[in-house]
Structure 1
Amino acid sequence: MTVGAFSEWRKLPISLSELCINTTLRCGQSFRWHKLPENDEWRCVLYGRLLSLRQDPTYLYYRSYSAACTSAADEAEDTTLAIIKHYFNLTSNLTSLYAQWSSSDPNFRRKAPQFTGIRILRQDAWEALVSFICSSNNNIARISQMVEKLCVNYGAYVADIDGRAYHDFPSPKQLAGGGDVEARLRSLGFGYRAKYIHQTATIVAKQREDGWLNTLRNPEAPAFGAGTKAVPDADNEIPPEGRSGYREAHEKLLELQGVGPKVSDCVCLMGLGWGESVPVDTHVWQIAQRDYKFGKGGNKSLTKATYDAVGNHFRKLWGKEAGWAHSVLFTADLRTFSDRLVATSKKTKADVDVKVKEEKEVDGTKVTTTTTVKNLALKRTADEGEIKLEFDDEKDFTKTRRMSKRLRSR
């Protein structure tokens, strides 16, 4: 391997039905992947290593960047493959999971065929925590910009390629720092989130033991390099409120600054491996109202009670990977992917009769005939507004935290 160069492309056999990076990396899970505008190559720094991915219908192609000569290129690429398998959660058979969710839910069965290959990422728990604190009252594009600013200003430098600098995600200590971190983040456009990020980093770095976040993990989904995976429970049945380990992790995260129920559930699902965690924002609440008859009894707002009711309903419907199934439906409703839907409630059909005139010459005389085409279906697609990932502004967020604290104290 040459100095400061990517390794040769290697390939992993996998179908688009088992993994589609073009969907998985754009559906609001991770906010650090950079897609090169000139091709379909994706780049990101994971575990201090710059990875590059691309895909065709048969293979996932991968390579990593090295800034120094090494005679252990094969070993390095073996580690890269291990990172990819862990990060994309490739131990689960996605085709079987989709079949299971489809058998229990006609709505999922109707929408899922256009959204195969969506996987729940096994992200670093700290990165997931900070990223979803940034998601408060925000959209995917702006969250990505904020996360990039965190990496550039506080993360370790890894490489500069094609005019772009790549950095790792900053650690809790780097974001705790001195007293100027909050002010610096505000100047970078983080708003009220600056205080939450700095305070949470301070708690994790200085008031919790090393590796505290990973103690909240689902033991079936250990952190990368943490050793042998625990044997998973084959039973898909779980309590409607989720397993005790999930509930404990959820409550512990609520003790941090800037973490409400939705942010906690995002971290549980995408950072700690609790598959039954179901993050509910206003968008998911709209899905629950439209497709699952929530809010029919007069309670049309997203409260603590309705938040829990939606999560419990989906856990009963889909089992211990309910958060995964919910993410497929969330993605199906994003405007970014609306062109994939063949028929949803956003699309309507209008049956019309269309008259077609045809002129032809018969024995030197022009003859005009009119043919009526019956019931020609015309599609009209309704426009969508910008999708946000959080249901609260700063005022509602504070109110939600107070509500959560009162419930925990009972």
Structure 2
Amino acid sequence: MPNVSNGTQTYSFHISNADVDGPFNLDETMLSAQTAEPEWLRQGLSFTDVETFNGTHIKYTLHQVGSIDEFTINVSMTGSTVAEKAVNHLRSHLNVVLGLKDKVQSFYETYADPSEPLSSTFSRLRGLRLMRATNLFESLIFSILSQNNSVRQMNRTARLLMQHYGTRVAFPDGSSHHLFPTPEALAKCEARQLRSKTSMGYRAKSVVGVSRMVCRNEIRLDELAMCSYDEAFGVLLDLPGVGPKVADCFLLYGLGKREAAPVDVWIHRIVSKLYFKGKKITRLAAGRFLRERFGNWAGYAQLYLFDYARRGPVSSKAKAGRS
């Protein structure tokens, strides 16, 4: 049963390693610059976000204790109403968002051969999971914001976008949270207005254009999930301001197409360095190589290689961003 205090209902539950397929590292997953959705609020070793269930907004906080292989994820929920159905919904939500059912141990074993450069990332990043968005529009817009942008700046822009155009939700404990704007809210904007209030620069034109297309049903994001990778990729490239990297970000983090491998400056460089002996290759060639070499693990491969590139020997040659 939920605990009730001053009109605030709280509920806690736990996810143990027995509920998760393989190792899990919450900290690495949350801080790995993925573009599924804007970053969660970090407080020490805890991470907080808001989920909406049947019109009710629930704030929840995650904290992992134990090791990467034997652990407990403590989950606390806060809201004006915390029903049992909301708890079950959040459990399912976390399984999807955090990739808790992904068979990462199989990923490690498949590419464990020391001759495979990817294997050198496994010990440091063990338990890193590929995140998945549950709000497709939010994921697409956030992917657009990541274009030629630093991780810090794209999250700052997302926060400003939410503050100015998202619905503010107040919780009984005195805290509040701004939801991500709806397509309708952003479709009403002018590009110069977005640029002024959020510092998103040239991306504002794309954000407004895509939002209006979604509102006019000129593109149905949910239907893209039923398309093949190549077909969905082609459709996305027809959207204003969406190039190959942004399209792959949305295909991977939004639609869950695991063969997608977004190629930014980091991935471009590390693929060239590790697999082509530094030879110059195009970004499209790098993405194609990752899909052909790793198949449905290509998305995971680029995630691990991205971290390797950021912290490894090529990091001094690039900015801390996902351009």
Superposition TM-score tier, normalisation by shorter sequence: 0.7 to 0.9
Structure with the larger helix share: 2
Residues 1:274 and 2:274 aligned together: no
Instruction: Write the letter of the residue equivalent to 2:209.
Output: Q
Q: Which residue does 2:39 correspond to in 1? A: 32
Instruction: Write the letter of the residue equivalent to 2:32.
Output: C
What whole-Å deviation, never above 9, does each CA across 1:293-341 have from its counterpart, x for those lacking one?
1652xxx3x6xxx22321222222222121112111112222xxx4xxx
Q: Which residue does 1:216 correspond to in 2? A: 224
Q: Which residue does 2:10 correspond to in 1? A: 7
Q: Which residue does 1:251 correspond to in 2? A: 234
Q: Which residue does 1:386 correspond to in 2? A: 319
Aligned equivalents of 1:191, 1:272: Cα separation in 2? 26
Name which of 59, 72, 85 aligns with 1:59.
Answer: 72
Instruction: Write the letter of the residue equivalent to 2:283.
Output: Y
1:20 shift after superposition: 1.4
Taking structure 1 as the reference length, the TM-score comes to: 0.69
Aligned equivalents of 1:107, 1:295: Cα separation in 2? 14
Q: Which residue does 1:194 correspond to in 2? A: 204
What whole-Å deviation, never above 9, does each CA across 1:224-283 have from its counterpart, x for those lacking one?
xxxxxxxxxxxxxxxxxxxx7001111111111121000000000000011000111111
Q: How many matched pairs?
A: 306
Aligned equivalents of 1:69, 1:191: Cα separation in 2? 40
What is the aligned-residue RMSD (CA, Å)?
2.5
Answer yes or no: is the 8 Å Cα contact 2:114–2:120 preserved in 1: no
1:159 shift after superposition: 2.8
SS at match of 1:166: strand
1:385 shift after superposition: 4.6
Aligned 1:81-120 pairs, distance under 5 A? 81-103=91-113, 106-120=116-130
Answer yes or no: is the 8 Å Cα contact 1:27–1:331 preserved in 2: yes
Q: Which residue does 2:296 correspond to in 1? A: 320
Name which of 44, 47, 70 aligns with 1:42.
Answer: 47
Aligned equivalents of 1:263, 1:85: Cα separation in 2? 25
Name which of 134, 137, 160 aligns with 1:149.
Answer: 160
Answer yes or no: is the 8 Å Cα contact 2:144–2:242 preserved in 1: yes
Q: Which has the larger radius of gyration?
A: 1
Aligned equivalents of 1:168, 1:182: Cα separation in 2? 20
> Structure 1 313/113 Cα, relative in aligned 2: closer, same or farther at 3 Å?
same
Aligned equivalents of 1:257, 1:161: Cα separation in 2? 41
Aligned equivalents of 2:126, 2:239: Cα separation in 1? 35
Off by >4 Å, runs of 4+ in structure 1:
160-164, 382-385
Q: Give the % identical residues.
A: 27
Answer yes or no: is the 8 Å Cα contact 2:50–2:177 preserved in 1: yes
Structure 2: gaps (5+ residues): none
Aligned equivalents of 1:279, 1:385: Cα separation in 2? 17
Answer yes or no: is the 8 Å Cα contact 1:104–1:318 preserved in 2: no
Aligned equivalents of 1:84, 1:156: Cα separation in 2? 23
> Structure 1 7/103 Cα, relative in aligned 2: closer, same or farther at 3 Å?
farther
SS at match of 1:27: coil
1:49 shift after superposition: 3.3
SS at match of 2:39: coil
